[in-house]
Amino acid sequence: MREILGRRRRLLSRNDGKPELISAALAFATQWQWPVLPGVAPDPHGRARCACPDPECTVPGAHPFDPGLLAASADARMVRWWWTNRPSAPIILATGGKAPCAVSLPALAASRALALLDRRGMRLGPVIASPTRWSLLVRPYSMEQLGELLYAKDFVPGSLRFHGEGGYIALPPSETGQGGVRWERPPLPGSASPWVPDVEAVVDAVVDALTRTGVSAPEL
């Protein structure tokens, strides 16, 4: 009897995560062909810490660990297996290749920049928000393309981060050590693949908006 109860507890513990996580992961992989993989969970004894071996981890619960980033897949069977076994795992997108890249900036700066861009009527794609940073999805770009873009600018805020080939971001509705991840600007419902702008347009607009709103300091 004890053995039966033990098995039942283990089964329940395997399925105590958010049911929408596996649905979202499958949707990203099968509908949009985005390569995803489960991220390392936050440390249950301190959510601001990470369950990975790095005691100084700067993105707790919001990065790949086991499996590594190269394992990212759009295969439905693989995705379903991952989240069946790790139902609470954050959803990590491997950026670049056929998947979108991203430009991220601190949450307060992003909020002000998006408000200004809205007033200008600029079209943006999906925007992902976490408590500390927001990520604007853009079309895939090469490191050479990004280098030329940044070199041509007189000033680029140090608060900007670029998630291109070999990078990653957490997708909604993940829970990380810094809090929940959500859509600030969700993709249009029913879209086969979300429209995203070119990186040049986003960087030009965001740098200008940050400079005008006075939130371009690198320490943000």
- Looking at the predicted structure, is the pLDDT value of residue 36 above 90? yes
With a pLDDT cut of 70, the percent of the chain lying above it is: 84
- Distance, first Cα to last Cα, the chain: 57
The pLDDT of residue 43 is 66
pLDDT digits (tens, 9 = 90+) for 132-161: 999 999 999 999 999 999 999 888 888 899
**Average pLDDT along the chain:** 84
The pLDDT of residue 13 is 35
The pLDDT of residue 46 is 59
The pLDDT of residue 8 is 33
Q: Distance between CA atoms of 92 and 81, rounded to whole angstroms?
A: 15
The pLDDT of residue 10 is 37
The pLDDT of residue 6 is 39
Minimum mean pLDDT among 13-27, 31-45, 62-76, 128-142: which range?
13-27
More confident of the two residues 8 and 179: 179
Minimum mean pLDDT among 4-13, 119-128, 136-145: which range?
4-13
- 49-53, 144-148, 175-179: which is most confident: 144-148
The pLDDT of residue 159 is 87
Minimum mean pLDDT among 32-41, 81-90, 181-190, 210-219: which range?
210-219
Mean pLDDT calculated for residue range 193-208 = 91
> Residue length, the chain?
220
- Looking at the predicted structure, is the pLDDT value of residue 109 above 70? yes
Alpha-carbon 145 to chain mean position: 22
Mean pLDDT calculated for residue range 87-102 = 94
Mean pLDDT calculated for residue range 195-201 = 93
Q: Distance between CA atoms of 72 and 163, rounded to whole angstroms?
A: 15
Q: Distance between CA atoms of 62 and 54, rounded to whole angstroms?
A: 13
pTM value is 0.85
Task: Band the pLDDT of 189: cuts 50, 70, 90.
Answer: confident
Q: Is 134 helix (H, G, I), strand (E, B) or coil?
A: strand
CB 123 within 8 A of CB 199: no
